[in-house]
Structure 1
Amino acid sequence: MSTSHQATPGSQADYRDATARSATGASPLASGLALFAGIVMIIAGIFQAVAGLVALFQNELYVVGVTYVFSFDVTAWGWIHLLVGALVAVAGGAVLMGHLWGRVIGIGLASLSMIANFLFVPYYPIWSLLIIALDVAVIWALCSYDREAARR
């Protein structure tokens, strides 16, 4: 009778493999940053999509006191926020699943979201600045996440 040392989920060998990975330098911070970025991207994407829907259906909620050079119609802003929000949420799901393309697209979409919300500041300043701050945190988390360290 020979014994097999294959790691099955929940087995003692699986526990030893996980312990060995953490002893070799797998950073809990690395996987924690990816989890943080993915969750924040999904939540911020949903919030941004909702803001876009509000701009489409209740556009009198957003009032502009001063005209700016980069002003658009509120309906146009609604479509922009709805599209960017949906894409950010999908990329956040890809980040949570560990896809490299999710990280790359996530950085680009978070940057695009920052620009869109900067241009949206005259319409809804506190909301826009909050989303910009979340986008900065997401970009930082996605750029500092080391996929190789998380695999060890």
Structure 2
Amino acid sequence: MTATHDGPAYTVKPGRAGGLRVFAAVMLVLAGLLDALRGIMGIAGDDVFLRTPEYAFRFDLTAWSWIHLALGVLAVLVGVAVLRSARWARVAGVAVASFLVLAGFLSLPYAPLWSLVVIALAGFVVWALCVVRRVR
């Protein structure tokens, strides 16, 4: 007699699950700090940003800066909550990291390298938070 189930049975060792959670939390905090710094630089009127008058998703640089600052602060707060294993933080972490990817993509022409770094970090966060399973 064989047991039937819907898919393969996965077991996650507690150390691995905790390691991915810590990895996601640290990457989310780092991406949040980078995004917040990007926002502060834009609000301060720093000249490191490119000017792209023909860009389809063009916002005023100050508007983009406030968006990045808000997302960055939110990402840091959620990253700390992920580190503390708050129940809501994993879902919120995926959502915030997804918004970081979207904002990074939409503001790509203003700071290409910075955007790519934040997109990569946020992508790793989404991966890590989606892969880790709760240990019973």
What range describes the TM-score normalised by the shorter chain of this pair? 0.7 to 0.9
| Structure having the larger proportion of residues in helix | 1
Which ranges of structure 1 fall in alignment gaps of 5 or more residues?
1-23
Residues 57 and 104 (structure 1), Cα distance of their counterparts in 2 relative to 1, 3 Å cut? same
1:78 corresponds in structure 2 to: 65
The count of residues paired between Structure 1 and Structure 2 equals 126
1:59 Cα deviation after fit: 4.0
In 1, the alpha carbon distance for the partners of 2:78 and 2:58 equals: 28
Pair 1:33-2:13 in alignment: no
3-state secondary structure, aligned to 2:93: helix
Q: Percent identity?
A: 41
Pair 1:136-2:123 in alignment: yes
Q: Is the Cα–Cα contact under 8 Å of residues 41 and 138 in structure 1 kept in the other structure?
A: yes
1:109 Cα deviation after fit: 0.6
Match of 2:82 among 77, 92, 95: 95
In 2, the alpha carbon distance for the partners of 1:59 and 1:75 equals: 11
| RMSD of aligned residue pairs (Cα, Å) | 1.5
Larger radius of gyration: 1
Match of 1:128, as an amino acid?
A: S
TM-score by length of 2: 0.87
1:52 corresponds in structure 2 to: 39
TM-score by length of 1: 0.78
2:108 corresponds in structure 1 to: 121
Which ranges of structure 2 fall in alignment gaps of 5 or more residues?
1-10
Query: Which runs of structure 1 show a deviation greater than 2 angstroms over 4 or more consecutive aligned residues?
Result: 24-27, 58-61
Q: Is the Cα–Cα contact under 8 Å of residues 91 and 106 in structure 1 kept in the other structure?
A: yes
